[in-house]
Amino acid sequence: MFTGLIEEQGKIRSYSISSNGMEITVTCNKILSDIKEGASVAINGACQTVVKYGKDYITVQASNETLKVTNYKNLKVNDFVNLERALTLNKRIDGHIVSGHIDCLAEFLYAKQDGFSKEFYFKIQKDFSKYIIYKGSIAINGVSLTIASVNNEIFSVELIPTTLKEVNLSQLKEGNFVNIETDLFAKYVEKILTSKDNTSRINYGFLAENGFI
């Protein structure tokens, strides 16, 4: 599990793609303080297992399934990626609960200034737009954000300057794709409500009565 608060931006040092998947080596610094083989690290929001590390890098092996749903196949040497180690239970969760399991990609459309913040607009795949709700949580390239507007498959988020300095979203160009993890709890609620043998107390009436819808 992760919080969506990025610890540092790493840089792609090298990568190789084969029928087995993709091996990626990332130059980094901060996250190495307690790293070990087998540790979980979110790279652009996708949970990966460290298979090797050194004084200034980590190496992971992304599966073919990961390549299907992430922007990893578009990565190039020297690209910046967002990095976060798995959360521990002895610190505050300032973002939101992020599993590191990517749902889909979204296309970056444009950004515009909104006061001291910058509003970023994206188009998500239609099948996943049902999880996008106004003021709901979303992880974009692993960054925990709040949805500022929704119009069918188009949604926006606002980033303050402090956040923009720490993550790679400021480098997006029109037509780039980002990794999306929608709200974890929304998917569980949907599963319960649509299950044919649903015996749970959770239903539309329960959610409405308790202010969830």
Cβ pair 74, 62 in contact under 8 A: no
- Domain annotation covers residue 153: yes
Distance separating alpha carbons of residues 189 and 207, to the nearest angstrom: 10
**pLDDT (tens digit per residue) in 95-136:** 778 889 999 999 999 999 999 999 999 999 999 999 999 999
Judge if 149 and 183 occupy the same domain.
yes
Residue 94 inside a domain? The answer is no
Q: What is the pTM of this model?
A: 0.84
> Does residue 159 lie within any of the structural domains?
yes
Asked if 79 and 11 count as a contact pair (C-beta separation under 8 A), the reply is: yes
Q: Do 174 and 110 belong together in one domain?
A: yes
Nearest alpha-carbon partner for 169 in 181, 15, 160 = 160
- Domain of 41? 8-85
pLDDT, tens digit, for every residue of 145-167?
Answer: 999 999 999 999 999 998 999 99
Chain mean pLDDT for the chain: 90
Q: What does the alpha-carbon distance between residue 137 and residue 106 come to, in Å, rounded to a whole number?
A: 15
Q: Position of tokens 């106004």?
A: 134
| CA dihedral over 79, 164, 36, 51, signed as positive or negative | negative
**Rounded Cα–Cα distance for residues 64 and 168 (Å):** 24
Q: Tell me, what's the pLDDT at 55? A: 96
If asked whether residues 80 and 119 sit together in one domain, one would say no
- CATH number of the domain enclosing 179: 2.40.30.20
User: Quick one: pLDDT at residue 22?
Assistant: 97
Measured CA to CA, the distance from residue 90 to residue 93 in angstroms comes to 9
CA–CA separation, 166 and 207 (whole Å): 36
